[in-house]
Structure 1
Amino acid sequence: MRTEPTILNRAGLIILMAGQLLPLIDFSIVNVALSAIAQSLNASHLQLELMVAAYGIGLAVCLAMGSRLGDNFGRRRLFTLGVWVFGLASLACGISSSINGLLFARVIQGVGAAMILPQILATLHVNLSGKRHSFAIGAYGAIGGMAFVLGQILGGFLVSANVAGLGWRSVFLINIPVCIGVLLFVKHCVPESRSEHPATVDWAGTLLLAIALLCLLIPVALGPEYHWSWPFIVMLFCVVPLSLVLWKVEKHKENGGVFPLMPPRLLRLPSIQFGFILALTMFTSFGGFMFAVALTLQAGLGHSALESGYAFVAMGVSYFIGSLCSAKIANRLGKLNTLFLGCVLQIPALLALIWTFFQFWPNINAATLMPATLVMGVAQSFIVSSFYRIGLSEMPSKDAGAGSAMLTTVQQAAFGLGSALFGTIVYQVFYLTQSHQTAVIAALFLELALFSILAICGLVYRRRLHGI
């Protein structure tokens, strides 16, 4: 009879990273299948945008709850349940016969992903220390960014290969064998862990967080399509008061000795605060960029799904190489300076990409994109790895679940916000100008602005650290 491991070994780390790939790769794998889905299910551009955003909404809304359940009932147990939910939802996506059915299955996929992701980061933080912890966090960050790029490439291959006549359905069905593999080995490779002080479920905090996220993401995705009618404006204005009410409710619970869903004492940590800013700028840009460029290559230039996927190969390779080097660079330069190095590389690379779309249009392909995207991949690997290292730098082990859930919630909400925001920009600019070139350049300028804001906030954060 096998005994369960008491530490997280290499096999366990591989299983966790495979589990991490599942939810993250599904953010981008559908981007290159958009045209095929639109033709097959007669989907509008709004429904295509929602298909990407719905997954992010389901994931972001349920992440904090998934973390709390993992803390209370066992992180491996919730991880396993999440893989089951995600696998079944992927099957439902793959056999959907209508766009509405696909949208519903995508939300359930997001719920399954919300059970998976917080358990991974918390398990790493609790079971590892020193160099092994640094390596694992670097691998987590590497997988996080690689999954987005790999999704585009893999999705393009699967749609073009049309294996067994499945077409776009294969981008969802490919998840099933991975889920089966994870489920076969997780019990014997990943140690069980839970919080030493289990807390009751914070239903009030969960409900307020869910409503606040929905009030933010739904108007961004649907508002322009409905000409910003009053319900969407009201929802957007409700985000701030809902956030204030959430803060007061969570503070009241904390003062009363009850462990809240999002502990205010963690929100006071400078590393968490800057981690939120980093997530909102970096991952909104990352998710929006992949969606906008993939859509432009297919709808604007008539590229096949495979050609669209190949456009990101250079970025994927350079991201992987940069991720392998990020731990050593962070140890030598420091976490914050590694972030600044990423920004220093990213901003001129974005300017080069804007020039590429301006100069070479309509002859845009993997070769013309390569010089800029090579640099972008390295830059983004440094920034993403810095996100986890900075965000967790002041996190006590007892708060690993709650802290990782807070960071991951903002990260995944930013992914959903990015596809909705950048998709809206692309569609609205195209509607006004009838130019796909102008639309994608406008999206890239938005990304440039977000990274400039990140660099400025990083300088403020460094000054704050020196003042402490």
Structure 2
Amino acid sequence: MRHATPPATRPRLDAAGLAVLLCGQLLPQIDFTIVNVALDAISRSLHADATGLELIIAAYGLAFAVCLAMGGRLGDKLGRRRVFEWGVALFFVSSLLCGLATAVWQMLAARVLQGVAAALIVPQILATIHVTLEGHAHSRALGVYGAIGGLSFIVGQVFGGFLISADIAGLGWRSVFLINLPLCVGVLACSRRWVPETRREGDVAIDWAGTVLLAGLVVCLLSALAFGPISHWAWPWPALLAAVPMLLAALWRVELAQERRGAQPLLPPSLLRLPSVRFGLLVAILFFACWSGFMFAVALTLQSGAGLTPFQSGNAFIALGASYFVSSLLSSRVAARLGQVPALVLGCIIQMSGLLALMLTFELVWPRPDMLTLMPATVLIGFGQAFIVSSFFRIGLSDVPAEQAGAGAGMLSTVQQAAFGLGVTLIGAVFAQVIHHGGDYRAAVLAALGTEFCVMLLLLAGAVVFHGRRRRLCPG
């Protein structure tokens, strides 16, 4: 008796393979925050001014965001495990170059390479999970993915502060980059054995026009928002910002034309027509901008305002990271019981309660905040954030066909990484304005947290509206 393609022939990702992918996920995620606690030491060692330090952070984020969608497409075409391994190998080389840098330009070049490597790694993880798992295993894997992603944000702060304080082998700040090398070797050694190879069936063409336009759009937007305020909006930056809507319109026209010809656009308009994808992108823009802005404002307040060392500042986020991890492990059960969007709403309410509690804490304990006084509020924030992150991936990928998993994962991740840069810029601008006018770090962090609360209120309202429309369309 003949059968259609049996379920047994579908590549399956077991626990060991998932562990390898999640170890690879740590590499790009940790390097977003681990550098923050090393900036002062890098400044003294490489004689970098404030603009140079901002470029060191921005170069990584820009390269990451620009290349993410292309990374997803390359995985679809050439094989996701193969491209994942290329990304890890390039991350090894670029981390070594960062650790050996003796001038700012060398560091900038190495950070761009790191961003490209990260863009090759991240889409393969989500896409592999999406096409090799289903049902509860798929939901649980996304929950763990969200847990590791969020926890690595915290680990970067804590571990970076520890490495600099320990000054292992006299390496100082260089150790925050060189610590990546053994992890890269371990991932490469295990990947071929445990991670199944998957790719999209049929030929996958590279959308070069879409790639160039997307790169131009992201570079113009993030460059203008990052450097416009510090240059008092000298003429190049408003011009770049004005180019963004024109590039966006051109990108949409190109992608529509490709789809109508039966080609394979980098950002398929058919995916953007899915309400779940559009809402997932809204979650990415609002929440991840808030998250990066929160980490920036609170870390700077604790160090520059309250006088904590990098190690003490990093430790202040331990409770947040621990509660985030525990909550992420529970998120799949909560989503199964309540539904994906109600779990997101619950996460927003818990996180916003934590923001209000943190604002009250800063009012009461300033100028001597520490890990213990911040713990109750940060536990609430971390617990709520985990529900939001895991719901973001579940909702955003819920209706994406398996053959478009790479494109869908690349699209969601591109917006996520761009939002990280956007949040530091926008919430950082609120923070800097208050400091500039009064020099009061307590008032500045309260303004930043208040701004985040208002943005989260918009997300909560959007989630309620989306859930209502979905229930009307699918009452069962």
Task: Answer with 439-448 or 113-122: which moved more.
Answer: 439-448
Letter in 2 for 1:272: V
The answer to whether the aligner puts 1:265 opposite 2:270 as a matched pair is yes
* Residues 7-86 of structure 1: pairs in structure 2 closer than 5 A: 7-86=12-91
| Correspondence for 2:170 | 165
Offset of residue 6 of structure 1: 4.5
TM-score of the aligned structures, taking structure 1 as reference length: 0.96
Runs of 4+ more than 6 Å apart: none
The answer to whether the aligner puts 1:238 opposite 2:243 as a matched pair is yes
Distance 1:136 1:453 in 2: 28
Residue of 374, 377, 380 corresponding to 2:379: 374
Distance 2:56 2:469 in 1: 40
Task: Answer with 299-308 or 22-31: which moved more.
Answer: 299-308
Offset of residue 447 of structure 1: 1.2
The answer to whether the aligner puts 1:292 opposite 2:303 as a matched pair is no
CA distances 1:423-458 after superposition (whole Å, capped 9, x unpaired): 333333322222222222222122112111110111
Task: Answer with 276-285 or 292-301: which moved more.
Answer: 292-301
Q: Is the 8 A contact 2:92 2:184 kept in 1?
A: yes
Count matched residues.
464
Q: Is the 8 A contact 1:34 1:295 kept in 2?
A: no
Distance 1:355 1:104 in 2: 43
Residue of 347, 354, 361 corresponding to 2:359: 354
| Correspondence for 2:325 | 320
Distance 1:287 1:172 in 2: 21
Residue of 128, 133, 139 corresponding to 1:134: 139
Q: Is the 8 A contact 1:53 1:420 kept in 2?
A: no
Distance 1:243 1:146, change over 3 A: same
Distance 1:439 1:100 in 2: 32
Task: Answer with 327-336 or 446-455: which moved more.
Answer: 446-455
The answer to whether the aligner puts 1:437 opposite 2:442 as a matched pair is yes
| Correspondence for 2:230 | 225
CA distances 1:210-256 after superposition (whole Å, capped 9, x unpaired): 11111110111100111012221121122122111111110000001
Distance 2:87 2:146 in 1: 20
| Correspondence for 1:344 | 349
| Correspondence for 1:154 | 159
The answer to whether the aligner puts 1:125 opposite 2:125 as a matched pair is no
Distance 1:210 1:56 in 2: 12
Offset of residue 365 of structure 1: 1.2
Q: Is the 8 A contact 2:147 2:386 kept in 1?
A: yes
Task: Answer with 97-106 or 218-227: which moved more.
Answer: 97-106
Letter in 1 for 2:319: A
Offset of residue 98 of structure 1: 2.2
**DSSP-derived class of the 1:225 partner:** helix
Aligned-residue sequence identity (percent) comes to 53
| Correspondence for 2:461 | 456
Distance 2:79 2:49 in 1: 42
Distance 1:239 1:291 in 2: 25
| Correspondence for 1:413 | 418
Q: Is the 8 A contact 1:50 1:221 kept in 2?
A: no
Offset of residue 57 of structure 1: 1.0
| Correspondence for 1:93 | 98
Letter in 1 for 2:228: G
Runs of 5+ consecutive residues of structure 2 not aligned to the other structure: 1-9
Letter in 1 for 2:456: F
Runs of 5+ consecutive residues of structure 1 not aligned to the other structure: none
Distance 1:105 1:22 in 2: 15
Letter in 2 for 1:165: G
Offset of residue 143 of structure 1: 0.9
